[in-house]
Amino acid sequence: SSEFTYDYIVVGGGTGGLVVANRLSEQETTSVLVIEAGGSVYNNINVTDTGGYGNAFGTTIDWAYQTTDQEYAAGKPQIVRAGKALGGTSTINGMVYLRAQTAQIDAWEAIGNKGWNWNSLFPYYRKGEDFQGIHYSWLEGSGVAYDPADHGYTGPLKVGWSSTQLNDGLAQQLNATYQNMVPPVPYNKDPNGGQMVGYALYPKTVDSIKNIREDAARAYYYPYQNRTNLHVWLNTNANRLTWKDGDAATADGVEVTLANGTTIVVKASREVIVAAGALKSPVLLELSGIGNPDILSKYGIQTKVNLSTVGENLQDQMNNGLVYDSMISYSKSADYVAYPSVNQLFTNASAIGAQLYAKLPAYAAQVASANGNITKASNIERFFKIQWHLIFKSHIPVAEILLEPSGNTYDTEYWGSVPFSRGNVHIQSADPTAAASIDPKYFMLDFDLHAQIEAARFIRKLFKTEPFAGMAGDETSPGLSAVAANAGDEGWASFIKNNYRSNFHPISTVAMMPKEVGGVVDTSLKVYGTSNVRVVDASVMPFQVCGHLQSTVYAVAERAADIIKVE
């Protein structure tokens, strides 16, 4: 028995978790506890400063998960960052607010998640949003634009542009440049309506007036903290779920270690909602006895639910950058994105598509063999064909190109949007504080490298196209002496593999899919084989999205709350 009992316990007070906690506690008779390993960062300048991206890295609010040595990418490990604070990764992220292409969310339904498609998710993107518009004097001339129908105006999460937005004409010069590229990259007024291909200025999770970061805690918790039925325990680590006596896998609480080091059990009378992030939620399931018996038994954990695919299907993207001198000095910055489709990224898209299609069975076999056939090659091949179709037939963005002016430089970041490589994350100990084994298998499949190389070439082409070419100076990284102007794939490959980082977009480790094709949660986000354990965070997304993850995590969590409320 325990002196603490709540209707719902939410494990992880991050991006997804705080949405669910907020919405469930709208019902006054429902009690909700949030367990969060980190503390409050409400007044942490590394969080609130909209120009401070990166300042929180390596501090106490960064989990800084380390991967295994990446055998397909120079043999080195990577750091995958994630926020350890009330608000989770939304407190340290780049604040980019970009959703997905309609066809990508429709693909969730195509793999067997009935009812999960763009049309059913779109209202939830808007439900969470408090779009602040562009009617501020400091945005005049900045080039920002939007389609009113694509946004929500009554949700908790502020989205918009802040007073640091650059308005000196660069947006317009870049647009002219993209139109001059061969083939041209069309202007996209609002990439948040489900059509992402093109060049756009995107909004962020910022408070436009105060010019501070908007994160999950500032949106979904602090304005509601006086609710007596909503409690948050900070600096408290969830160790494992506890189970009700009997055969059915019914969770009845969570074992936690409090800030003072004491370990106790807190009871849940209805459900436990796991929202610890894509690199932690599967680990918590395994520590609780849900997973692959071969892994669990190695660490003396009794199997409660035999579900071998927990922790599989890990998908991330790889991030590289090129840096150029600028002829102009910038004291403000702004956010410009280009989303090329295959026809804009590859010179011979149909040939590349045909070659890739022929390789998909081999790709699927390689993924399955790398995880001991826990995920089946036949299922993976089906998913890969759907992914191929998205890229070559639905023409989703196949890469993302960000341009960031700052001081006397133009920084760029780029990545292939939908890598095929699949890795995994698993426990290496029964100790809940021990590091898990995280293996994204970056660059395992050659299309992923190819997309990364073509994105780099695309950037070089952009910087050679007028009028922007006249505003930019030399390429300082990697520079033409490191990667020659006419470098072949080999020349690019070594730069890319030695200099990439994680794009910090891990997903799918607790994938929402039918159980028979390797899923871990069903369409109500309930873990197969349990009666009352759900997962609500980036782990459940079965495919990568072309936007960034947070908007889709917020939307999925909004929908999850509605699903939980009617049960």
In 3-state terms, the chain is what percent helix, strand and coil (to 5)?
30, 25, 45
Closest CA to 526 of 563, 565, 566: 563
User: Does the protein bind ligand FAD through residue 504 (CB under 6 A)?
Assistant: yes
Total number of residues binding ligand FAD (CB under 6 A)? 39
For residue 417, the SS3 value is coil
Closest CA to 322 of 508, 495, 456: 456
User: Does the protein bind ligand FAD through residue 280 (CB under 6 A)?
Assistant: yes
Closest CA to 360 of 384, 387, 335, 336: 384
Least CB distance to ligand FAD at residue 357 (A): 30
User: Does the protein bind ligand FAD through residue 505 (CB under 6 A)?
Assistant: yes
Least CB distance to ligand FAD at residue 489 (A): 29
Euclidean distance between the first and final Cα of the chain, in Å? 26
**Near ligand FAD by CB under 6 A, which window of 88-96, 100-108, 146-154, 292-300?**
88-96
User: Does the protein bind ligand FAD through residue 318 (CB under 6 A)?
Assistant: no
The residue type of 328 is I
User: Does the protein bind ligand FAD through residue 107 (CB under 6 A)?
Assistant: no
Which is catalytic among the residues 151, 426, 450, 548? Answer: 548
Residue 288 DSSP code: T
Report the C-alpha gap between 199 and 179 in whole angstroms. 9
Among all residues, whose Cβ is closest to ligand FAD?
Answer: 14
User: Does the protein bind ligand FAD through residue 84 (CB under 6 A)?
Assistant: yes
Helix (H) or strand (E) holding 366: helix 349-370
User: Does the protein bind ligand FAD through residue 96 (CB under 6 A)?
Assistant: yes
User: Does the protein bind ligand FAD through residue 549 (CB under 6 A)?
Assistant: yes
Task: Answer whether 127's CB lies under 8 Å from 155's CB.
Answer: yes
* Displacement of CA 115 from its chain's centroid (Å): 22
* Count of C-beta atoms within a 10 Å radius of residue 41: 25
Task: Answer whether 125's CB lies under 8 Å from 555's CB.
Answer: yes
User: Does the protein bind ligand FAD through residue 36 (CB under 6 A)?
Assistant: yes
Helix (H) or strand (E) holding 176: helix 170-180
Which residue has 């021990």 as its token pair? 434
Q: Is 217 left (phi over 0), alpha (psi -120 to 50) or beta?
A: alpha
Q: Give 65 or 199: the residue with its C-beta nearer to ligand FAD.
A: 65
**Near ligand FAD by CB under 6 A, which window of 42-50, 75-83, 173-181, 493-501?**
75-83
**Near ligand FAD by CB under 6 A, which window of 33-41, 64-72, 258-266, 471-479?**
33-41
User: Does the protein bind ligand FAD through residue 321 (CB under 6 A)?
Assistant: no
Residue 547 phi, psi (nearest 5)? -80, -150
Report the C-alpha gap between 483 and 245 in whole angstroms. 63
Q: Give 17 or 191: the residue with its C-beta nearer to ligand FAD.
A: 17
Q: Given candidates 20, 78, 83, 388, which one binds ligand FAD under the rule CB under 6 A?
A: 83
Residue 395 DSSP code: -
User: Does the protein bind ligand FAD through residue 296 (CB under 6 A)?
Assistant: no
Q: Give 263 or 347: the residue with its C-beta nearer to ligand FAD.
A: 263
Q: Given candidates 99, 126, 548, 559, which one binds ligand FAD under the rule CB under 6 A?
A: 548
User: Does the protein bind ligand FAD through residue 88 (CB under 6 A)?
Assistant: yes
**Near ligand FAD by CB under 6 A, which window of 93-101, 464-472, 483-491, 525-533?**
93-101
Packed helices 489-499 and 446-462: angle between N→C axes, nearest 10 degrees: 100
Helices (H), 371-463: 377-392, 446-462
**Is 548 marked active-site?**
yes
Residues 6 or more apart in contact with residue 83 via CB below 8 angstroms = 14, 38, 56, 61, 62, 63, 89, 90, 91, 92, 93
Q: Given candidates 6, 8, 14, 366, which one binds ligand FAD under the rule CB under 6 A?
A: 14
**Near ligand FAD by CB under 6 A, which window of 29-37, 153-161, 317-325, 468-476?**
29-37
Task: Answer whether 82's CB lies under 8 Å from 550's CB.
Answer: no
Least CB distance to ligand FAD at residue 17 (A): 6
Residue 277 phi, psi (nearest 5)? 95, 160
Least CB distance to ligand FAD at residue 377 (A): 28
DSSP string, 517-559: GT-SB-TT-BBTTBSSEEE-SGGG-SS--SS-HHHHHHHHHHH
User: Does the protein bind ligand FAD through residue 538 (CB under 6 A)?
Assistant: yes
Q: Give 493 or 553: the residue with its C-beta nearer to ligand FAD.
A: 553
Report the C-alpha gap between 356 and 54 in whole angstroms. 36
User: Does the protein bind ligand FAD through residue 15 (CB under 6 A)?
Assistant: yes
Q: Give 105 or 275: the residue with its C-beta nearer to ligand FAD.
A: 275
User: Does the protein bind ligand FAD through residue 278 (CB under 6 A)?
Assistant: yes
Cis (ω within 30 of 0) for the bond into 191?
Answer: no
User: Does the protein bind ligand FAD through residue 440 (CB under 6 A)?
Assistant: no
Residues 214-243 that bind ligand FAD (CB under 6 A): 237-238
Provide the token pair at 120.
């059913």
Q: Give 96 or 290: the residue with its C-beta nearer to ligand FAD.
A: 96
The residue type of 171 is A
Least CB distance to ligand FAD at residue 469 (A): 28
Least CB distance to ligand FAD at residue 246 (A): 26
Q: Give 122 or 468: the residue with its C-beta nearer to ligand FAD.
A: 122
**Near ligand FAD by CB under 6 A, which window of 121-129, 164-172, 271-279, 440-448?**
271-279
In the complex, the residues that contact ligand FAD under the rule CB under 6 A are 11-17, 35-38, 81-84, 88-90, 92-96, 237-238, 275-278, 280, 504-505, 537-538, 548-551, 553
Residues classed as catalytic: 505, 548
